[in-house]
Amino acid sequence: METEKVVAHESVNDDKGKFTFQRGPLVYCLEGPDNKDRIVQNIMVSKDAPVEETFQASLLNDVNIIKTNGLSTKKQLNSEELIKTEQEVTAIPYYAWANRGASDMMVWVPYEASASKPQPAPTIASTSKVSSSLPNVRTINSLVDQYDPVDSKDSNYPYFHWWPKKNTVEFVQLDFDKEHTVSESKVYWYDDSPWGGCTVPAAYTLYYKKGEEWLPVSNTGAYEIVKDKYNVVKFKPVKTTALKMEVQLPANAATGIHEWAVQ
C-alpha cells in the first residue's frame, strides 16, 4: 500500500493548506512522543516531501509508521516572518494515538505557513509559568500560545475556561521568568453564548506581586469587558515578578480566556 497525502474538501475552512497521511484504509496522525520536543502543532510538511514506511514491532502493539522531513515553525518578535528549522517527522496510525499518556496530536498537517500554528515568540507572557484557580488543567498554556482567535467563540485551538463553575471568584496567574516592568494587559475572552456555557465575566481585576503581597494595579482607564476583541487595560508601571487576574464569573455562566498578553 502506498502512502497518500489527502486534502479535505475545499469547503472545509479549518483544513485549508493542510493534508493528512493515508495508507490503505488507515489515516495517520502526528503525536508528541514520536517528534522533536514532544510538539507537533508547529510542524509543516511539503506536499512533495518523500515518505518512508517502516514496521515497528516494539511500538503500540506492532504498527507501520511513516517518516518524512518537515519544518518546525516559531514566531519571532517584531517580525511576521517565521523561524523555520528542519526536522524529521513521524506519523503513527490514528487509531493508536493517546496510548502513551497525554500529549500533543495533529491529524491535518500544514503544508502552507498560513495554516501552521507556530510556537510563540519569547514575550513576558509566553516565558512565564501559567497557573490558575483550577489545578492541573491541560489547556492552561493556551493562554500564552499567541493564537489570535477569529472571534470569542472560536474553538479551532485550545482555550482555557472555568466551566461548569458559575458566580465564583477565580484567577489566572503569570509568574515571570525574571522581574519585569509592566504597564499593560490585554485579554481575549472566550464566549460561546447563547448556546454554550461561557460568557464574558461580570468583572475582573489585575494584581501585581510585591514581596509576598498582591496589590491591585493603578489602572489609568476603565476595565473594558466585551467579546470578539482584545480588552486592553493600561496601568501605572510596576516592577514585579508576577501578575494575577482575578475574575468574577457571571451568576448564570462560566467564563473562558483565549489569550492573555502583558507588556
What is the longest distance spanned by two Cα atoms in the chain? 65
Closest alpha carbon to 119 in 147, 158, 99, 100: 147
CA dihedral 172, 176, 181, 187 (to 10 degrees): -30
CA distance 259 to 139: 11
Q: So what's the pLDDT on residue 102?
A: 81
Domain definitions of the chain by residue range: 3-115, 129-262
Strand 169-190 relative to strand 231-248, pairing:
antiparallel
Q: Which three cell numbers stand for residue 187?
A: 485579554
Overall CATH class of domain 129-262: mainly beta
Is the pLDDT at 20 greater than 90, yes or no?
Answer: yes
CA distance 89 to 91: 7
What DSSP designation does 254 have? B
Q: Mind listing the pLDDT tens digit for each residue in 158-188? A: 899 999 999 999 999 999 999 999 999 999 9
| CA gyration radius, the chain | 21
Averaged pLDDT for residues 31-41 = 94
Q: Which three cell numbers stand for residue 240?
A: 514585579
Q: Mind listing the pLDDT tens digit for each residue in 64-106? A: 999 999 999 999 988 888 899 999 999 999 999 999 988 889 9
